[in-house]
Structure 1
Amino acid sequence: MGNQVEKLTHLNYAEVPTSDPNGFEPDDDVPRIGVSYIFSNDDGDDDQDDHMDHFSSENHSVSHEEKPFDPQDELECAVYYREECVYERNTGDATHSAESLLNNCRPGDLLEFLATGQYPHWAVYVGDFQVVHLHRAEIKNNFLTDVSQGKKGRIVNGLYRYRALPPEVIVRNALDHVGSRDRELYWRNSECFAAWCRFGKREFKIGGEIRIGKQPYRLKLLFSEKKSHVLEFQSLEDVIMEKRRNDQIGKDAVMQELANHLNATHEIKDEDYVNDLF
């Protein structure tokens, strides 16, 4: 399988017929290029930040079994907008208990809580032991220790390479939206909401970028020093959904998916070649 993944250094899925990953068909003829045939909607699990009901997928299934976070199954990745790296995550970043995080958090910090088999849950620390986060289709203000639910977490201010807003603005962005729910929401998951609070970029919002058929975003998956794979997307929102899906299923499962896709692609090409002969 290693050799198979190594061959997948760069694929463009323009030839793959895809539909809107939210379950809607586009109103125009603009193609949605990407990998929607392998990724599902984010945060559909009751234990996650719960993506809005009108964006849920009937076929989506997520394991409810919670296991301690396994750093060995975390996948390194980087996101590029054209040639600029806008996000980078290296494995090995330490995680801490909620109590330990409280001793190190400052207002405006972004927190990520982790458990194997679940989507990462993001929150904004607003001071006084509290965080604001998107959970079950509502933006809530809760104590950090309650939100962690026993999971370990880490401060993730440096993952996105955008310039952060002043701490007081970040906190105000978060608190101003407490109580928003369902169709009042402009964010697809907890990461998009928390990142928007800190950086203020519309790209984190639903429909924040115009889809014009181009693929300016690239998600580079790093399996080892010599093995990587690149996917292309039209929007940052789509990249985040796929990145979080990879976090939820784990590194080994992502490698297996890519290997299976390569085998299927080769089978299709072989069949087309035989048909051409006859």
Structure 2
Amino acid sequence: MGNQVEKLTHLTYAEVPTSDPTGLDQEDCPRIGVSYIFSNDDDDVGGSEKDPNQEENYDKCNELECSVFYRDECVYEKSLSSGDLSTCSPENLLNKCKPGDLVEFVGKNQYPHWTVYVGDFQVVHLHRAEIKNDFMTDASQGRRGRIVNDVYKFKPQKPEMVVQNAMEQVGARDRELSWRNSECFAAWCKFGKREFKIGGEIRIGKQPYSLKIQLSEKKSHILEFQSMEDLIMERRRNDQIGKNAVIQELVSHLHSEEEVRTDHNAHWD
């Protein structure tokens, strides 16, 4: 498998296996992967009730280490060695958080859920197509969490401005929203960059963003994207399905491509 993954080390966004959400995909067979880019990913656990098994079920070893680059500049990095992936209970997080901190809650087979801590045990977050102000323990829905102020490399705004950004959006919902998921909203509050908003970047055919997925110590896989928004959606899907599933997808996709090339060559021999 190692040799197969090495062959698939650099793709453009147009080459990512996908399926057209409009149903107009002209490929002979479905392409896996990024149809979610055209709709909100669902941050919900599946209901409003807490799942007492989330902490026991979550396996941080199945998380993908990755980096995001804008041209040659690293703008995001999640690494096991830096301690970014260590988690704790919401109750313990309350003892660590300061107003303006970004908190990420993680659970098995779920999209990560990002919140902005605003003080007094409360967070502001995008949940079910609405910006809400909830107690952190309720927003976690039984998941473990971690402070993620440093995974993005942008210059943060002052804590009071981060809190203000978040609180001013409370109550916004549906068509009023400018963010596709909880991470984009929380990161916008923290850094104030339009790249996190829906349509925040002009698409001009170039692909200045790259996502480097670390598959092993010596092997990586790179995808290119037109916008930060698209890249975040892909990275969140990888987080949701886990490292093992991502590797299997890459190997399966490569195997299918090799079969097509073999059939094509046989036809012309």
TM-score range normalised by the length of the shorter chain: 0.7 to 0.9
In 2, distance between residues paired with 1:256 and 1:20? 22
User: 1:253–1:82: structure 2 CA closer, same or farther, 3 Å change rule?
Assistant: same
Q: What does residue range 36-115 of structure 1 map to in structure 2 within 5 Å?
A: 37-41=32-36, 42-44=40-42, 46-47=44-45, 68-91=57-80, 92=83, 93-115=85-107
String of CA shifts for 1:203-251, please: whole Å, max 9, x gaps: 0000001111111110000011111100011100010000000000000
1:12 maps to which residue?
Answer: 12
In 2: Cα distance, 1:101 partner to 1:156 partner: 12
1:70/1:216 CA distance change after superposition, 3 Å: same
Q: 1:276: how far off?
A: 3.1
Q: Which amino acid in the other structure matches residue 268 of structure 1?
A: V
Amino acid at match of 2:239: D
Whether 2:229 is the aligned partner of 1:237: answer: yes
Identify which of 113, 116, 121 aligns with 2:108: 116
- Look up the SS of the partner of 2:57 in the other structure: coil
Structure 1 window deviating more from structure 2 (7-16 vs 109-118): it is 7-16
In structure 2, the residue matched to 1:60 is none
Match of 1:207 in 2: 199
After TM superposition, the score normalised by the length of structure 2 is 0.87
Task: Name the amino acid aligned to 1:90.
Answer: S
Aligned to 2:28: none
Give the Cα–Cα distance (whole angstroms) in 1 for the partners of residues 145 and 70 of structure 2: 27
Contact map agreement 2:210 2:222 (CA 8 A) in 1: yes
Q: Which residue type is aligned with residue 161 of structure 2? A: V
Residues 133 and 193 of structure 1 are in contact (CA less than 8 Å); yes or no, is this contact kept in structure 2?
yes
Query: Which residues in structure 2 correspond to 1:186-205 (within 5 Å)?
Result: 186-205=178-197
Question: How many residues were matched structurally?
Answer: 251
Distance of 1:242 and 1:266 partners within structure 2: 24
Q: CA, structure 1 residues 233+224, in 2 after alignment: closer, same or farther (shift >3 Å)?
A: same
Matched ranges for 1:105-144 at <5 A: 105-144=97-136
| d(CA) in 2 for partners of 1:18, 1:256 | 16
Please name the residue that 1:62 is paired with. Answer: none
Q: What displacement does 1:128 show?
A: 0.8
1:4-35 per-position Cα deviation (integer Å, ceiling 9, x unaligned): 112222123546796766x598xxxxxxxxxx
2:212 counterpart of 1:220: yes
Where structure 1 has 5 or more consecutive residues not aligned to the other structure, the ranges are 26-35, 50-64
1:274 to partner: Cα distance: 2.4
Change (3 A) 1:122 1:15: closer
Offset from partner CA, 1:44-75 (integer Å, 9 cap, x none): 364279xxxxxxxxxxxxxxx95632111000
Instruction: Give the match for residue 145 of structure 1.
Output: 137
Contact 2:18 2:35 in 1 (8 A): no
C-alpha spacing 1:39/1:152, structure 2 compared with 1 (3 Å): same
SS in 2 for 1:159: coil
SS in 2 for 1:78: strand
1:242–1:48 CA distance, 2 compared to 1 (3 A): farther
The letter for the 1-side match of 2:79 is: N
Following the alignment from structure 1 to structure 2, what is the Cα–Cα distance between the partners of residues 19 and 115? 26
- Would the aligned equivalents of 2:16 and 2:223 in 1 still touch at CA under 8 Å? no
Aligned position for 1:54 = none
Normalised by the length of structure 1, the TM-score is: 0.84
Task: Quote the residue 2:27 is aligned against.
Answer: none
